[in-house]
Amino acid sequence: MDLFELLNFYVIPGIVLGSIYALGAVGITLIFAILRYAHLAHGDLATLGAFIALAVVTTLGVSPLAALPVAIIATAAVAVGIDKVFYDHLRERPKIVTVMASLGIALMIRAVVQVVWGVDTETYSRGIVRPENYFGLRIRDREIYTVIAMLALVGVLHMFLTQSKWGKAMRAMSDNPNLALLSGIDNRKVVILTWVIAGGLCAASGFFLGLNTELKSMMGWHMLLPMFAAAILGGVGRVEGAVLGGLIVGIAEELSVLVIPSEYKAAMAFAILLFMLLVRPTGLLKGKVL
Amino acid sequence: MEFLGLVNYALFMAIFIAIYALLVLGLNIQWGFAGLFNAGIAGFFAVGAYTSAILTTEAADGRIGGFDLHFVIGWIGAMIAAALVAWPIGKICLRFRSDYLAIASIGIAEIIRLVIKSEPALTNGARGIPGIPRPMSDIGYMESQVAYLIIVLAVLIAAYVLVERQFNAPWGRMMRAIRDNEDAAKAMGKDVEFRRLEAFIFGAALMGLGGALFAHFNRSITPEAIDPMVATFLVWIMLILGGSGNNRGAILGAAVVWIIWSVSEIATDRLPHEYAIQAKYIRLFLIGLMLQLVLRFRPEGLLPEPLRGDQRSAKDGADH
């Protein structure tokens, strides 16, 4: 196999898939670090975001990319609502109770998607998109959008977390919640903000998975493990770590097809997860271990 | 005829409740005793079901197994196989907080599902393994149902007695001490990691046994029988509703949730076809909502964990 074949069929799809995982993993890592639990409904929230975008595309007839902002806002609102109704009152209980609740929420969100949109496979637009040829690299437009959108969203988030007052408050909550509360940070606002960011990124993640492949009601559930693997690989609480982890998991999944049967592609994320827990649980960029 | 149908349905339901009760008892060892969040129950269930199927069926072309062994050996094999799968996961994840175990157990269930679907040499792929012998099946249909119910109940009672004894024994007190205050237990010289692993493996073994009983009752096992989310989730809601940390609660929860689940199926089956498909998902939504409501309004479940961990003092304890 020559270099171009490797790049075109494995590395580029891996980067695209990795960008999709990265978008979800950033949300997971923020929730893990700030609210301190593993949010198991993350994948299904991404499914919901993807299908909200589909609803916008089919009812308004706009292009998928125009539907993305609507999906981001709507999913962020849903995430805040879920937190208010279902997670908020569990805050004083052991964190693992919220993890359990989130497993139930995952089932509920998926049931809503299956009732509203059915269980058939859907796409944003019909027809085959031919890849463009860039000096031998074959790349589809939507693949470029995916990677650029990931970099832009994470870049804006990074600016927000490092420059703005509320971003700093979020980081303070993540580093030391007691000290943050003592210094007058409004816990509730930080929680809402965390859910807005995580929910919005979920929608983007689901949307781009739908754009690059298809929409299925189980798509998000299958993304959950790679997203967690990415978050832990990068180091819990590290946004840039989640991006790095997402890209590594995505590329590793695509490359794994060269050595193991393609049915077991999904096992790659699990192997990475266990391996990291075994050798370096803080992740590549030294995150937290809860 | 109508009456016989009802009896038959009741038998069917009772057998399922007993099988699920075994799974819930297994989860109670993990979560109720030791506070370990296992979100991959369906995986251990599947390992048990397929192991016993491979050990006890007759030889067939195209797949390994077909050892035609006695069902008791199949069931023991199911428990051992599930325990063996649990061991490495527990070994790696149990030194972290339970969140990591939750994620890893979801992963293991997904991978077991992948193996089942894509290794026809082992599991006969999507067609599944047929012809699993059911004990006492050479007598009449109804008699055989009754006989199987008795066998399942005997297994359940044996498991209950063993688990309950452990719960009131020093082992159970130690497990709860570790669950409630890990640091204190460590300071008392308890090997927290090893004890947790022990609880995780015992629980998984019971789940494997539940899977084996299910496969032998159905006489076949296919990948469709193991919906990773639904199978796992029903067991969780059974334990939480019944009362985690309370073995009787676990069994009660299995009965209540299974009755709600299957009666709601009868109700939705009467709907016109175009709504019937959606009704299935509405049932799932309601089960998810039920968990949220229980967590909010009755987190201790129907039968709370006995105070001081002693069932004999449960009555005095409940008056507080």
* Per-residue model confidence as pLDDT tens digits over B70-121: 899 999 999 999 999 999 999 999 888 889 999 999 999 999 999 998 888 8
Q: Do A266 and B108 touch (CB under 8 A)?
A: no
Q: Do B240 and A100 touch (CB under 8 A)?
A: yes
CA dist B13 → A39, A116, B27, B217, B254 (Å)? 34, 31, 21, 12, 11
In a domain, B58, yes or no: yes
Nearest CA in chain A to B294: A101
B29-82 confidence digits (pLDDT tens) = 999 988 999 999 999 999 999 999 999 988 877 787 778 888 999 999 999 999
Among partner residues B37, B89, B229, which is closest to A107 by beta-carbon distance? B229
Q: Which chain A residues are within 8 Å of B289, Cβ to Cβ?
A: 104, 108
In a domain, B202, yes or no: yes
Q: Is pTM beyond 0.90 here?
A: yes
Residue B27 main-chain phi, psi, to 5 deg: -65, -35
pLDDT of residue B311: 47
In a domain, B22, yes or no: yes
Whether the pLDDT of residue A5 is over 70: the answer is yes
Strands (E), B61-106: none
Whether the pLDDT of residue B315 is over 60: the answer is no
In a domain, B73, yes or no: yes
Spatial CA neighbour of B213 closest among B136, B135, B158: B135
Share of chain A above pLDDT 70, in %: 100
Give the best residue of A108, A110, A224, A253 to mutate against chain B (max B CB count within 10 A): A108
Q: How confident is the model at residue B308 (pLDDT cuts 50, 70, 90)?
A: low
N-term to C-term CA, chain A: 43
Whether the pLDDT of residue A126 is over 80: the answer is no
Tokens of B65: 């197994």
Whether the pLDDT of residue B313 is over 80: the answer is no
ipTM comes to 0.91
Q: Do B288 and A99 touch (CB under 8 A)?
A: no
CA dist B145 → B7, B63, B292 (Å)? 10, 30, 36
Tokens of A145: 């959008």
Among partner residues A32, A106, A281, which is closest to B96 by beta-carbon distance? A281
Full residue range of the structural domain in which residue B126 is found? 17-224
In a domain, B201, yes or no: yes
Q: Do B92 and A261 touch (CB under 8 A)?
A: no
Q: Over range B273-296, report the average pLDDT.
A: 88
CB within 8 Å of B230: residues ≥ 6 apart: B42, B284
Q: Looking at CA atoms only, how far is residue B3 from chain A in angstroms?
A: 36
In a domain, B320, yes or no: no
**Total number of domains constituting chain B:** 1
In a domain, B254, yes or no: no
Average pLDDT of the residues of chain A: 92
Domains of chain A and any CATH numbers: 3-121+139-279 (1.10.3470.10)
Burial (CB count within 10 angstroms: exposed 0-12, middle 13-18, buried 19+), residue B33: buried
- Least confident residue range of A10-14, A86-90, B122-126: B122-126
Task: Count other C-beta atoms under 10 Å from residue A141's C-beta.
Answer: 12
Burial (CB count within 10 angstroms: exposed 0-12, middle 13-18, buried 19+), residue A11: middle
In a domain, B113, yes or no: yes
Among partner residues A99, A105, A224, which is closest to B37 by beta-carbon distance? A99
Whether the pLDDT of residue A274 is over 80: the answer is yes
pLDDT of residue B307: 67
Q: Do A40 and B292 touch (CB under 8 A)?
A: no
Among partner residues A90, A95, A115, which is closest to B281 by beta-carbon distance? A115
